[in-house]
């Protein structure tokens, strides 16, 4: 089996790293395509070094640009590679323009696409990430959902449950493997970080999302909040896009003339883990950092009004604060000064698995390939219609047997007002089910 694995941003490199390791362990043929969506050293190459990844087989060097322009360039260059390589399967991750481009090209070429970190939803179509992930989830062959909630999202949108697998999130694999590697010896390599890591009340800050940094009002509001956090030391690994926006809106000097705000260059992954591990609190608009915080037991305040990682909020490790100045300041003070509140957030249960997600994902792909389940072929039998029904099941029967008996495909199970994903052996007695009746 030949697998093409595609990435172009820092989060994709990080989260695909354990899958790359697992593919090599199983001696499968792997082709790595880097789009170049993040193209400078700190945002891409440094992560290959830290995570000990092989160099990409193809670097498309797309660079930045408007969404349509960037996606178009990627599709044109990806298509040439896939036609040449003729892979058996393509892996894409998350919600980036790289993932969308890879999905579209592979799907048009009838190459099976597997979506890692499928089913996340913020329910806000104002963000490019939400649009990308929803488009990718339209017609993949395998969906690797990090949680049951993500799997339910996919199922309710009509994805067949046989294609959905709850695998956990590979970020747990990455964090657990690399947390053991970090130590203060690394500080000898990063003098900038060495001078900051021993400060008290460290808050790690990251902001990069378009709705924050490209909006003068939002960015100005964030800067105003940071100005009042004199009781903390804010360490800010600044994203190139954010730096440009701060300068464009005449906010850069205002922020970095503050003694308690420390701007540093983007960090490599191990350095960043070290910074997080020494932080009392995280302020961010990042999706991935919401996951890393709860895995590493660090309280986090998310500078957004919604999240595609609601599990972290439900678990109690993450609080959505939007841009409400008083709320942000009040919660920051509480977490830094109230040990009970801080410990409650630190002890929130990680909802993303035990660190074996990559192994599960590769095993599922391999099993599907060996069972000839990844081929994209025309339907052989006549299917007149699908009728969507909801019923209460009275008999003692599980999901698999119900579907077989009734020629049905169950989308979701409702048990006492709680949604459940329809795994094969789930007993349906006295539960309501939403299912497609195949005519």
Task: Show the domains of the chain with their CATH numbers.
Answer: 2-169+355-370 (3.40.50.2000), 181-346 (3.40.50.2000), 386-438 (no CATH)
Helix (H, G, I), strand (E, B) or coil at 38: coil
Per-residue pLDDT of the chain in tens (439 residues, 90 and over written 9): 999 999 999 899 999 999 999 999 999 999 999 998 866 655 567 788 888 899 999 999 888 788 899 999 999 999 999 999 999 999 999 999 999 999 999 999 999 999 999 999 999 898 899 999 999 999 999 999 999 999 999 999 999 999 999 999 999 999 998 887 776 555 556 667 878 988 999 999 999 888 889 889 889 999 999 999 999 999 999 988 899 999 999 999 999 999 999 999 888 888 899 999 999 999 999 999 999 999 999 999 999 999 999 999 999 999 999 988 899 999 999 999 999 999 999 999 999 999 999 999 999 999 999 999 998 887 666 666 789 999 999 999 999 999 999 999 999 999 988 999 999 999 999 999 999 998 7
Candidate list 93, 115, 208, 262, residue with the active-site label: 208
DSSP-derived secondary structure for 328-389: HHHHHHHHHH-HHHHHHHHTPPP-S-SS-HHHHHHHHHHHHHHTT--------S----EEEE
Which pLDDT score is estimated for 382?
66
Q: What is the dihedral of CA 81, 174, 286, 43, to 10 degrees?
A: -50
HSE-CB for 234 with a 13 A CA cutoff: 25
Which pLDDT score is estimated for 136?
97
pTM of the model: 0.93
Which residues partner with 263 through β-bridges? 236
* CB of 8 closer than 8 Å to CB of 96: yes
Q: Cα 226 vs. chain centroid, distance in angstroms? A: 27
Task: Give CA–CA dist 273/47, Å, rounded.
Answer: 12
For the question of residue 208 being annotated catalytic, the response is yes
Which residues partner with 409 through β-bridges? 436
Which pLDDT score is estimated for 335?
96
Q: How many residues does the chain have?
A: 439
Distances (CA, A) of 424 to 47, 165, 218, 400: 39, 12, 47, 5
Helix (H, G, I), strand (E, B) or coil at 309: coil
Task: Give CA–CA dist 112/313, Å, rounded.
Answer: 34
Most distant CA pair in the chain, distance: 71
Which pLDDT score is estimated for 194?
79
* CB of 89 closer than 8 Å to CB of 3: yes
């Amino acid at each position: 089996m030949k697998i093409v694995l595609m990435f172009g941003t820092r989060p994709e490199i990080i989260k695909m790293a354990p899958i790359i390791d697992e593919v090599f362990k199983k001696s499968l043929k792997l082709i790595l395509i880097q789009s170049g969506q993040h193209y400078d050293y700190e945002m891409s190459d440094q992560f290959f070094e830290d995570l000990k990844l092989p160099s990409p087989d193809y670097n498309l060097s797309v660079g930045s640009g408007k969404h349509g322009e960037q996606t178009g360039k990627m599709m044109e260059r990806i298509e040439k590679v896939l036609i040449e390589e003729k892979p058996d399967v393509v892996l894409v991750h998350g919600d980036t323009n790289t993932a969308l481009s890879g999905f579209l090209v592979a799907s048009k070429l009838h190459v099976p696409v597997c979506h890692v970190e499928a089913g996340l939803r913020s329910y806000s179509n104002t963000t490019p990430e939400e649009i990308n992930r929803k488009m990718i989830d339209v017609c993949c062959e395998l969906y690797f959902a990090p949680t049951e909630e993500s799997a339910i999202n996919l199922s309710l949108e009509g994805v067949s449950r046989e294609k959905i697998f709850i695998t956990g999130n590979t970020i747990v694999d990455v964090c657990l493997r690399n947390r053991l590697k970090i130590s203060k010896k690394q500080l000898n390599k990063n003098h900038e970080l060495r001078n900051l890591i021993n400060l008290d009340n460290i808050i790690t800050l990251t902001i990069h999302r378009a709705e924050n940094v490209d909006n003068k009002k939002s960015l100005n509001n964030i800067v105003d909040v940071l100005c009042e956090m004199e009781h903390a030391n804010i360490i800010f690994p600044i994203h190139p896009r954010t730096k440009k926006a701060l300068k464009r809106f005449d906010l850069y000097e205002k922020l970095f003339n503050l003694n308690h705000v420390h701007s540093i260059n983007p960090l490599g992954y191990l350095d960043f883990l070290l910074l997080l591990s020494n932080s009392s609190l995280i302020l961010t608009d990042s999706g991935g950092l919401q996951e890393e915080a709860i895995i590493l037991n660090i309280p986090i305040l998310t500078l957004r009004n919604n999240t595609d990682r609601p599990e972290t909020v439900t678990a109690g490790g993450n609080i959505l604060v939007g841009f409400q100045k008083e709320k942000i300041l009040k919660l920051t003070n509480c977490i830094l000064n109230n040990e009970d509140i801080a410990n409650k957030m630190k002890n929130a249960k990680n909802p993303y698995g035990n660190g074996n997600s990559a192994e599960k994902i590769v095993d599922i792909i391999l099993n599907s390939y060996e069972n000839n389940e990844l081929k994209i072929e025309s339907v052989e039998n006549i299917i007149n219609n699908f009728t969507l029904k909801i019923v209460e099941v009275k008999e003692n029967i599980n999901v698999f047997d119900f579907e077989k008996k009734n020629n049905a495909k169950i989308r979701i199970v409702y048990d006492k007002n709680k949604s459940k994903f329809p795994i094969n052996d789930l007993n349906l007695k006295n539960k309501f089910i939403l299912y497609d009746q195949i005519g």
